[in-house]
Structure 1
Amino acid sequence: MAERTNGLATADLPAETGSLVKEVGEVIEDYPGDQAYGPPAFFGAYNMLPLFEQGITGEGSAVGVVGAGTYHSIDLQIFWKSFGIDRALPIRVNLMEPVFERVTETVLDTQWSSSLAPGADSYVYEGPDARNTALLFAWNEAIGDNKVDVLSTSFAHREDAEAKTLRHQYDESALMGAAIGMTLLSASGDSAGADTPCSSPYVTCVGGTNLVASVDGVIHSEVAWSLSGSGQSKSFARPYWQEADVDSKTRSMCDVALSASPENPMWMRRWTNWEAYGGTSFASPAFAGMVAVINSYRKAHGKPRVGYLNPLIYLHGPTRATFRDITKGATKYWPAGVGWDYPTGLGAPDVAALAATIPEAARGPKARAQR
């Protein structure tokens, strides 16, 4: 057994226990103002509106997020109503001890993933807390459940601060997800360094930009965000699909990028209040919703779900060309530039063009020798 495993991920301290505080209030429309971006800005900036006009909003697809604790149901519905979104509540999947708290990360991931795919089913895989092995267990279970087409986690951790066992277990589970046809996404983190589970070649790493646009998504500029998590993996060899773009011998990040800068922040609603934040925690669930809409388009045209995304966006020229190259901006370690770069990867997605261009049948992961 020792020759076939990277280690044993043991249990953390017992989860705390308590009672989930009851929510109060009514579901009302309460538009927060134009000081930050809501989903309509992403609909416009990343070209989702042509699909919406065709009636493609995610129907027949499912998007999931890895959660710690749960979200605010009333605030979630107010978020939707305030931005003109009408949809069903997510399906909550309780994985371990009963949740007793509402966690900010889970709140925003649920709000943004569900809003960007208003017609898709939405799942929240709820671990009891944000400890490492609870999050890893939630990731494993969400993949094994195979109920969603695309799964996002924004609980990113610096790769250089995580045990080898944890890094490799995320990768092993992601390999399973790629093999069964899921699209796996992770926020790249907000430290300008490389994060887990983004470092897995089977995960599409979603970095951050500084988007300057109108509230309905008319773009004025978009540059690399200075804290976009990015860099060279300490854990995994360069995958075959990065050979033409990356000089490093290891997996390099990011792969794609969306708005994440707190200079031009995004709205979330938490405990009856509107709050504006930045971070790739918004970018990854937003892109997950976009992939769910793409899967809806593909289903309507008799095609399978996207599945393992990375080889397609790097190696299929027409698909690669649908990303808007981000050539300006930098982190303290890496600059953006023409073509692939560390802070923004291949660039920002044009969702309608992606839906129309991705090949009919996606390839699964290559043999382990390619890792």
Structure 2
Amino acid sequence: MLGRLACCVALVTPALSIVMSRVNPGSRVRLLAAPAADQMITLSIGLTLSNVDQLEEKLKAVSTPGSPDYGKYLNKDEVAALFSPSADAYSAVVSWLQSNGVEHISEQGSNVNFATTVANANKLLDTKFAYYDVEGVQKLRTRQYSVPDEVASHVHLIHPTTYFGSTKSFRMPEDLIEVSKIAMAPFAVNTTSNCSVLITPDCFRTAYGVDDYTPDASSGSRVAFGSFLNESARLEDLHLYQQAYGIPLSNFSVEVINGGEDHQDINGSVGEANLDAQFLNAVTYPLPEIQYITGGSPPFVPNLDIPDAESNSNEPYLEYYEYLLNKTNKELPQVISNSYGDDEQTVPPDYAKRVCDLIGMMGLRGISVLESSGDTGVGAPCMSNDGKNHTEFTPSFPSSCPYITSVGGTQSWAPEVGWDGSSGGFSNYFAQAWYQAKAVNTYLEEGINAEAKKYYEAGAYANFSGRAFPDITAHSLHPNYAVYSRNRQGQTGGTSAATPVVAGVIGLLNDARLRAGKPTMGFLNPFIYSLKYGPLIDVTLGTATGCTGVNSHTGQELPGAGIIPFATWNNTLGWDPVTGMGMPYFKEMVKVALDIV
């Protein structure tokens, strides 16, 4: 039963309505057909959060080294008390739904979920739902929707409606070979890896300075990774990886979110998840490791069976972070690695803002959230989807959120240089973040070629006042990483590989601080941008490319893509859009981290 339902509801037809969201999904989306009028659809209304204007200042206070409030993180109840929607928001929205014949309603956190027929949803939202082909996946969506004036102030967004995204993992295709008999090797024994040929744990443990650090499993430091797209890591593959590289056998725990499935059979979809589990474990063993598997099921509505759940599927981000925020601090890991994303322009701005705010709340709780920047360099589609067909660089989301730590990529080995596929640039949704202004403006004034900058500005290809990313980097490709998948040894790479490695380094910083009686690192970016040479290894050589009409991640041509000649970002001293502030070096970074109160 709903605690906030109105007792009596009058049937009202509002005279006014406000358009909440309108998109032009572009040529990558194809209209298929209208659904049956009596087909059921489930939707979730994200209610307007309270006090969101205070989020950034509060996050700045607890995450900026030297602040008197540094490390004074909030708990679940304190965050909820600050930001939960008002009671009026719940009652107004539920009354509106009931007055329009909606019977199946439930509350979940800051959302009101409901199910109704497509015909009623069309009437309710003054819209027309239809089936669309989104890069080969059928989705039930609409190009715009409205809500009546009486509830507009209480509704932040309704989803899935105008989100035509195509979430993908940022990893390169695996080149797999059969595993023969694997001999168990003692942990920490040098296996004489040739790091210029294949990246094994010895390589990145040494390169990032964690080779002689031993964490304490009882320190309280916990690490995690997110798995999406029906992918899940296999324990058997993790054990093969551990055996091959002398890591004692250990397991990860699993939590399933929003209809996700834990596939442990050899034919299950593993993909991104396996490399996350293996690389994170290689850096942080024996710290506890958690896998969060998030499905795309519609929001839960009691007593209702949805026959076509596949077409009613949700993008994963909101459900993922709402689930995490509903856990207590003791239940949460202090660092989470994520390696999935979308082109920013395919994510409705209201959805992106909502997700970004939730990530900021994770930071207030003392959780470091890391995201791979992407594998398409300057961009792949490079064409606006607002109907104007303007050629422009393509930032990625959630990396463009200012409250997340975006991880770029390097290539080569000793020395490493910027990887040409490392995604980076400037957000079209979010403004430049407070912690990066000095570093990014130095790049714009001194680091980027002056003629290139004029060329980009003349074409309006980049929003130089937007949130700049990535923030930090690690090795991605060329040479590839060793990985085990479906009982076979193979090779992989991409910023998806870099992200769990960096997350592992942060897990060790948390271990060291907890053992010293100090709080964990929390939101990392103010710390990262305050560091000098030593804790960070600056990457000054290399370029990222893109906007050629070919997706560098998949190697496929993109019909209708924008072509921007000479589209590149250059590596330089200090921050740049290829590798951010540089690579972490734990031996020096931990000294700085332990000096912070």
> Are the aligned partners of 1:58 and 1:117 in contact in 2 as well (CA < 8 Å)?
no
Deviation at 1:267, TM superposition (A): 1.2
**Which residue is 2:343 aligned to?**
158
**Which residue is 1:7 aligned to?**
157
Is residue 2:547 matched to residue 1:334?
A: no
Q: Percent identity, aligned pairs only? A: 25
CA offset digits 1:50-94 (Å, max 9, x no partner): 423xx5689531111111232111111111121111153111001
Q: What amino acid is aligned across from residue 499 of structure 2 in structure 1?
A: S
> Are the aligned partners of 1:57 and 1:117 in contact in 2 as well (CA < 8 Å)?
no
User: 5+ unaligned residues in a row in structure 2: which ranges?
Assistant: 1-47, 49-151, 165-178, 186-190, 298-312, 380-394, 442-463, 546-567
What SS class does the counterpart of residue 191 from structure 1 fall into?
coil
Aligned length: 339
Is residue 2:294 matched to residue 1:127?
A: yes
Q: What amino acid is aligned across from residue 508 of structure 2 in structure 1?
A: V
Of residues 72, 75, 84, the one that matches 2:237 is 75
Distance 1:196 1:279, change over 3 A: same
Deviation at 1:27, TM superposition (A): 9.8
Distance 1:307 1:189, change over 3 A: same
Of residues 268, 281, 290, the one that matches 2:483 is 268
Distance 1:6 1:233, change over 3 A: farther
Deviation at 1:321, TM superposition (A): 4.6
Alignment of 1:113-124 (within 5 A): 113-124=280-291
What SS class does the counterpart of residue 246 from structure 1 fall into?
helix
- Work out the CA distance in 2 between the residues paired with 1:195 and 1:62: 28
Is residue 2:261 matched to residue 1:46?
A: no
- Work out the CA distance in 2 between the residues paired with 1:287 and 1:26: 30
Distance 1:85 1:143, change over 3 A: farther
- Work out the CA distance in 2 between the residues paired with 1:242 and 1:279: 25
Alignment of 1:309-320 (within 5 A): 309-315=524-530, 317=531
Deviation at 1:355, TM superposition (A): 1.2
Alignment of 1:1-371 (within 5 A): 1=48, 2-3=152-153, 6-10=156-160, 28-29=182-183, 34=194, 35-52=197-214, 59-68=219-228, 69-97=231-259, 99=261, 100=263, 101-128=268-295, 133-145=315-327, 146=329, 147-192=332-377, 193=379, 194-212=395-413, 220-247=414-441, 248-261=464-477, 263-315=478-530, 317=531, 321-332=534-545, 333-358=568-593, 361=596
> Are the aligned partners of 2:217 and 2:288 in contact in 1 as well (CA < 8 Å)?
no
- Work out the CA distance in 2 between the residues paired with 1:127 and 1:257: 26
Distance 1:240 1:337, change over 3 A: same
User: 5+ unaligned residues in a row in structure 1: which ranges?
Assistant: 14-24, 213-219, 363-371
Deviation at 1:8, TM superposition (A): 2.3
What SS class does the counterpart of residue 243 from structure 1 fall into?
helix
Distance 1:279 1:42, change over 3 A: same
CA offset digits 1:77-131 (Å, max 9, x no partner): 1111211111531110011325154331112111111221112110101123597
Larger radius of gyration: 2
Distance 1:170 1:27, change over 3 A: farther
What SS class does the counterpart of residue 60 from structure 1 fall into?
coil
CA offset digits 1:255-304 (Å, max 9, x no partner): 1110002x211011111111111200011111111111111111111211
Q: What amino acid is aligned across from residue 363 of structure 2 in structure 1?
A: A
TM-score by length of 1: 0.83
Deviation at 1:225, TM superposition (A): 0.3
> Are the aligned partners of 1:26 and 1:74 in contact in 2 as well (CA < 8 Å)?
no
TM-score by length of 2: 0.53
- Work out the CA distance in 1 between the residues paired with 2:155 and 2:202: 45
- Work out the CA distance in 2 between the residues paired with 1:26 and 1:5: 57
- Work out the CA distance in 1 between the residues paired with 2:248 and 2:219: 13
Q: What amino acid is aligned across from residue 190 of structure 1 in structure 2?
A: D
What SS class does the counterpart of residue 440 from structure 2 fall into?
coil
User: Which range moved further: 286-295 or 68-77?
Assistant: 68-77
Alignment RMSD: 2.8
Distance 1:106 1:223, change over 3 A: same
CA offset digits 1:140-184 (Å, max 9, x no partner): 323443410001110122212322233223201111111111111
> Are the aligned partners of 2:373 and 2:422 in contact in 1 as well (CA < 8 Å)?
yes
